[in-house]
Chain A
Amino acid sequence: MQKNTNPKANLPQQQVALPYKKSIEIAVKSIKSRFFRSLITTMSLILAISFYSYIKTNSLIITGIFFSENKTAIQQLSHLGYEIPDNGEAYTATPKERWILVLSLLVCVVGIVNTQLMAVADRFREIGTMKCLGALDRFILRLFLIEATLQGFIGATIGSVAGTVIALLGSLFKFGTVAMIFISINDVIMSITTAIFLGCFLSIIGVLYPALLAAKMQPVEAMRGKD
């Protein structure tokens, strides 16, 4: 049998591609069609981020009240156990609150990893099919990352707005309008923005391992087993 000098000679130098626009389109479609599953994935994120925003906004409100020098409100605060920060520093959450916050974010990531692993298992066949149609590992990875970012963005937006609103309304109830007057809108917006970034970040962290598993899967492995 005659040997080719270059065994790949008749392979054109073309490559498969998945433009970002298309990736986003597919990711959005996938989230929409699996709305319920996406909701479950984002639920723990919504809760954790709303807790984060609640704590953040509360700190802003309390700082505002301290700066207001409104006697009754400040007295109310010390009754509730809040310590007046020295030399005009901003009030920050108590160690206990921070500890719970870290825990809740951790639980949230674990929850995301869990639901995403299930989502990947559900989508073995889809992933395998895409690979048979010419998808590279990184297309699959990218699709999962985009989905997670979108889910993170939506979940964190809902969560942070909810947490902020609850904190504001709660303080308005407890302290009256003094809680609102000295709080800076910029700080609130900043806190919401931070929360959204944090949410996207957590969502991406949570999907990383499941998405890598999905991307690395061989088409035959993916196609075998359940429908």
Chain B
Amino acid sequence: MKSLNNIVRVDKVLKDFTMGKTIVSVLKGIDLEIKTGEYVSIMGPSGSGKTTLFNMIGGLDKPSSGSVFIDEIDISQLDAYELAWLRCRKIGYIFQTFNIIQVMTALENVTLPMVFAGIADDQARDKGMELLELVGLKERFQHKPFELSGGQQQRVAVARALANDPAIILADEPTGNLDLATGDEIINLLKMLSREKGVTIISATHDLKMLNVSDRVIWISDGKIEKIEHRDELSISLGQIGEK
């Protein structure tokens, strides 16, 4: 099986939305292969279809035609249970709007995916604390989202995305609602994860700073892939992370 190290494969994906009588074609035939451990940025202007593609890859929405394969499994073939399992164990999601559950503390947010995964309470707690430490929020574990800044909430979201050791982290404009400095922190955090844990990271963005850390940049515009660039050399940029 030649394509086994493709953790994600997008095959001729089209996506239309019907709005009343008009059909809006948002993805116009996307073909994409992403290898295990890669850090891929999907760049494109607002409205180019990044979020729509993100939803397809993450199994949050179904293509109008074409298929998305995760580990060579066509995810449109999965039933509700298998899809939930995939979302729970295989993929970690990070959103532009953080989407931290407001009524739960930082730690509870991080442990929730582990609860769904059936991991025992104390084990989930330990792992949760470990992950909060990793993102530099160990002291804040009992804080509710409204007591945390945007950057801190996004770091909780990163920790939560890592809860079940997913193979893939999908991030949709993770720095979109953050100021430059906190945005950089998140980018560095993602890079560190990709390097140290070997997680595949797929990030939709129009933050040009993502270019420096990406192994590959996929430029999309108007629902089509414009070009794909390798940025191998630049990805080993150093410095900023070592301080903490």
Q: What is A's interface to B at a CB cutoff of 8 Å?
A: 1-2, 4, 7-8, 10-11, 14-19, 22, 26, 29-30, 32-34, 125-126, 128-137, 139, 218-220, 223, 227
Contacts and interface: CB of A to CB of B under 8 A. Distances in A.
Interface of B: 1-3, 55, 58, 60-61, 71-74, 77-78, 80-82, 84-89, 93, 95, 97, 99-104, 108, 112-113, 115-118, 144, 160
Contacts of A11: 73, 78, 82, 85-86
B81 A16 contact: yes
A18 B115 contact: yes
B116 A220 contact: no
Contacts of B77: 7-8
A76 B100 CA distance: 64
A193 B2 CA distance: 68
Given A131-B84, A134-B84, A134-B85, 7 more contacts: A2-B2, A19-B115, A26-B104, A34-B103, A135-B84, A139-B116, A219-B61
B116 A125 contact: no
Nearest to B93: A132
Given A15-B85, A227-B97, A220 B60 contact: yes
A16 B85 contact: yes
Given A129-B99, A227-B97, A137 B89 contact: no
Nearest to B172: A223
Nearest to B81: A15
A129 B88 CA distance: 11
B116 A2 contact: no
Contacts, number: 102
A141 to B, nearest CB: 13
B82 A134 contact: no
A10 B71 contact: yes
B119 to A, nearest CB: 10
B89 A134 contact: yes
A172 B71 CA distance: 76
Nearest to A2: B1
A32 B103 CA distance: 9
A14 to B, nearest CB: 6
A134 B3 contact: no
Contacts of A16: 81, 84-85, 88, 116-118
Given A29-B104, A131-B87, A18 B116 contact: yes
A8 B70 CA distance: 10
A168 B40 CA distance: 72
Contacts of A223: 60, 95, 99
Nearest to A29: B103
B104 A134 contact: no
Contacts of A128: 99
Contacts of A8: 73, 77-78, 82
A129 B160 CA distance: 11
Contacts of B144: 33
Contacts of B101: 126, 129-130
29 contacts: A7-B73, A10-B72, A11-B78, A11-B82, A15-B118, A16-B85, A16-B116, A17-B116, A18-B116, A26-B104, A29-B103, A33-B102, A33-B103, A33-B144, A126-B101, A126-B103, A129-B100, A132-B58, A132-B93, A133-B93, A133-B112, A133-B116, A133-B160, A134-B89, A134-B113, A219-B60, A220-B55, A223-B60, A223-B99
Contacts of B71: 10
Contacts of B116: 16-18, 133-135, 139
B31 to A, nearest CB: 13
A204 B34 CA distance: 47
Nearest to B105: A29
Contacts of A17: 116-118
Nearest to B164: A134
A140 to B, nearest CB: 11
Contacts of B104: 26, 29
